[in-house]
Amino acid sequence: MLVVGMILVLAACNMKENETSSDSTEPVQEENNENKVEYELLFHLDSIPPEVGTSISIVQDEKLYTTWAEIFGFESVPPVDFEKEEVLFVTGYSDGCGREIEEIEKDGDTLVITLNYPENIRSEKDIACTEIALDNTYVVKMKKTDTTKGKLIDINRTTYEEDSTVQEKLH
């Protein structure tokens, strides 16, 4: 009986509902981990402006946010309450299967962004992706995190950016 109970507890801990989608405007929440960051995916774009490259930037200022929105060519700029919130811009490249944000976590003063294959590809037994580099930009709204560094990794644990300075605010 004790073994069955432990198996049920372990199974429940390993189950998670994936709500990440490029069309989602609902906050993504993960349970049972105080380091996970609740966020709202504003945009998942398939382009990166040439002047940006691979980067992690947290924007905490309305004027800077508007400037980034112009650089990235937003048709509309979602509202942000910069007293309580910040906007995370993550840019990088993926193979032909693409990537999406799997989770965002705080590790001390570092914001760790983990990318994974899209859910429909993750469910495949064999993943065969082209080696063509695809542009990806993720624009995320979240509560202030008080982080000063960023780390971007993918499901293969390839580290794209490590110890990037991510705090940006115009004075």
Report the DSSP pairing between strands 100-107 and 110-116: antiparallel
Q: Say if 58 falls within a structural domain.
A: yes
**pTM to 2 decimals?**
0.73
Instruction: Give the per-residue pLDDT at 162.
Output: 67
CA neighbor of 170 nearest in space, from 25, 20, 51, 65: 65
Sign for the pseudo-dihedral over CA of 138, 56, 121, 12 = negative
Sign for the pseudo-dihedral over CA of 93, 115, 38, 121 = positive
Q: Say if 94 falls within a structural domain.
A: yes
Q: Say if 6 falls within a structural domain.
A: no
Over residues 17-39, the mean pLDDT reads 57
Query: What's the rounded Cα separation, in Å, for the pair 135 and 120?
Result: 19
Token representation of residue 26: 């609902």
Report pLDDT digits (tens) over 1-19: 333 333 333 333 333 333 3
CA neighbor of 104 nearest in space, from 61, 144, 152, 67: 152
Q: Say if 37 falls within a structural domain.
A: yes
Q: Say if 43 falls within a structural domain.
A: yes
Q: Say if 134 falls within a structural domain.
A: yes
Tell me the Cα Rg of the chain. 17
- CB of 98 within 8 A of CB of 127? no
* Structural domains counted in the chain: 1
Q: Say if 63 falls within a structural domain.
A: yes
Average model confidence (pLDDT) across the chain: 77
* Domain coverage including residue 55: 31-168
Q: Any idea how long the chain is?
A: 171
Report pLDDT digits (tens) over 95-144: 888 889 999 999 998 999 999 888 888 877 777 788 888 899 999 999 99
Q: Say if 73 falls within a structural domain.
A: yes
